[in-house]
Chain A
Amino acid sequence: MPSTDKYSILLPTYNEVENLPIIIWLLIKHMNASGYPYEIIIIDDGSPDGTLEAAKQLQKIYGEDKIVLRPREKKLGLGTAYIHGIKHATGNYIIIMDADLSHHPKFIQEFIEKQRSQNFDIVTGTRYIGGGGVHGWDFKRKLISRGANLLTQILLRPGVSDLTGSFRLYKKDILETLIKSCVSKGYVFQMEMIVRARQRRYTIGEVPISFVDRVYGESKLGGSEIIQFARSLLYLFATT
């Protein structure tokens, strides 16, 4: 099928020197196999561990058309990282994902096919339905996650099963519009994005994904994350 679609994969990084080569290798492998035109934009926020140097090596191996480097001086918000990446993106679709190997690039082809099936504005990965799931969570973590998810479903009725996931495909202009309308920081940013998308009546498709919690490095869920989540849930409850 002739098409001018191109997919820009945004990869914000901070201290991912171990994960970055692996995720890039996986992305190249699966995107080449899928046959869709793509580019990978690495936005490193001044990692002290040498992530940028690793990225430069990868750029030499895979080429400047595939690997684009857009580093920033220091750690700034996720939303601004996306804005920064979009500015240099040549694709008409944007894929956002984490660089810590919890999101597997093999699902991107499914995202693209889902998007094309009904011309969705957004396709989001979901851990909560179908064949989706999470590896590496204990009972307590699962309980908090499921409890928070049900509470959110009851209060906001967002029509999307996974609100805090950050593995998504957006039409480029829609992502730009959404980021500008969001005020949250941190991981609740993803929840606000999808709730505001629903409020604006954008169409959203879902693809079940397996989420493998951080292989290298620490995954965190503490009291402050829970408080942050509760606050933004109430904020969205009162404003959307």
Chain B
Amino acid sequence: MTKLMEWLFVVGTLGAIWLALLTNTIENSFAKDHYDLLLFSPVIFVALFGLYALTLVLYRVFTFNNCDEAAEELQKEILQAKEDLQKQGFKFKTVQ
């Protein structure tokens, strides 16, 4: 089953349950008492999920490791490499 089919299956199932509750096909006192909440629940769910995703992305952006040490270490190694290669007879192409 492709990911698309999985999504369609889950969304279809949840949608069917939602519609059945809304049209009172499934007898339920909670659905009658909280009709508005039930009606807007998909929108509320998507909005909450969006907020969660946004928070998560921002948190991950701000905690993204900058690897400054790795960059400094690399700069030192580049100098070492150039020196050592020159000793071994490597001719670097001169960049103007």
Q: B77: CB under 8 A from chain A?
A: yes
- Taking a contact as CB atoms closer than 8 A, the residue among A18, A50, A155, A212 that contacts B67 in the complex is A212
Cβ B4 vs Cβ A133 within 8 A: no
Given contacts A57-B90, A147-B57, is CB(A142)–CB(B64) below 8 Å? yes
Cβ A210 vs Cβ B81 within 8 A: no
The residue of chain A having its C-beta at the shortest distance from the C-beta of B3 within the complex is A237
When A and B form their complex, what is the total count of cross-chain residue pairs whose Cβ atoms lie within 8 Å?
A: 91
List the A side residues contacting B85 at CB < 8 Å: 21, 25, 61
List the A side residues contacting B77 at CB < 8 Å: 22, 26
Q: B20: CB under 8 A from chain A?
A: no
How far apart are A49's CB and chain B's nearest CB, in angstroms?
8
User: Residues 54-74 of chain A: 1 if any B CB is under 8 Å from the residue's CB, otherwise 0?
Assistant: 100110010000000000000
User: Residues 54-65 of chain B: 1 if any A CB is under 8 Å from the residue's CB, otherwise 0?
Assistant: 001100110011
Cβ A150 vs Cβ B65 within 8 A: no
Cβ A57 vs Cβ B91 within 8 A: yes
List the A side residues contacting B4 at CB < 8 Å: 237-238
How far apart are A18's CB and chain B's nearest CB, in angstroms?
7
Cβ B64 vs Cβ A133 within 8 A: yes
The residue of chain A having its C-beta at the shortest distance from the C-beta of B71 within the complex is A135
The tally of residues in B whose CB lies under 8 Å from a CB in A reads: 31
The residue of chain A having its C-beta at the shortest distance from the C-beta of B56 within the complex is A150
Cβ B95 vs Cβ A134 within 8 A: no
Cβ A133 vs Cβ B61 within 8 A: no
List the B side residues contacting A132 at CB < 8 Å: 65
Q: A211: CB under 8 A from chain B?
A: yes
List the B side residues contacting A137 at CB < 8 Å: 64
Cβ A133 vs Cβ B66 within 8 A: yes
Q: A131: CB under 8 A from chain B?
A: yes
Q: B34: CB under 8 A from chain A?
A: no
Complexed CA–CA distance, A131 and B69 (Å): 12
Complexed CA–CA distance, A61 and B87 (Å): 11
Cβ B93 vs Cβ A17 within 8 A: yes
Which of B82, B84, B85 counts the most chain A CB atoms within 10 A? B85
Cβ B2 vs Cβ A22 within 8 A: no
Which of A17, A21, A139, A238 counts the most chain B CB atoms within 10 A? A21
Cβ A21 vs Cβ B81 within 8 A: yes
Cβ A58 vs Cβ B57 within 8 A: no
User: Residues 120-149 of chain A: 1 if any B CB is under 8 Å from the residue's CB, otherwise 0?
Assistant: 000000001001111111010011001100
Provide 22 A-B residue pairs closer than 8 Å at the C-beta atoms, listed in order of the A residue: A21-B92, A22-B78, A26-B77, A57-B90, A58-B90, A61-B85, A61-B90, A132-B65, A133-B67, A133-B70, A137-B64, A142-B61, A143-B57, A146-B57, A146-B64, A147-B57, A150-B60, A155-B7, A157-B3, A212-B71, A215-B75, A238-B3
Q: A61-B85, A61-B88, A133-B70 are in contact. List 9 more A-B contacts (CB 8 A).
A: A17-B93, A61-B90, A135-B70, A136-B71, A139-B61, A215-B78, A238-B2, A238-B4, A239-B2
Residues of B within 8 A of A (CB): 2-4, 7, 53, 56-57, 60-61, 64-68, 70-71, 74-75, 77-78, 81-82, 84-85, 88-93, 95
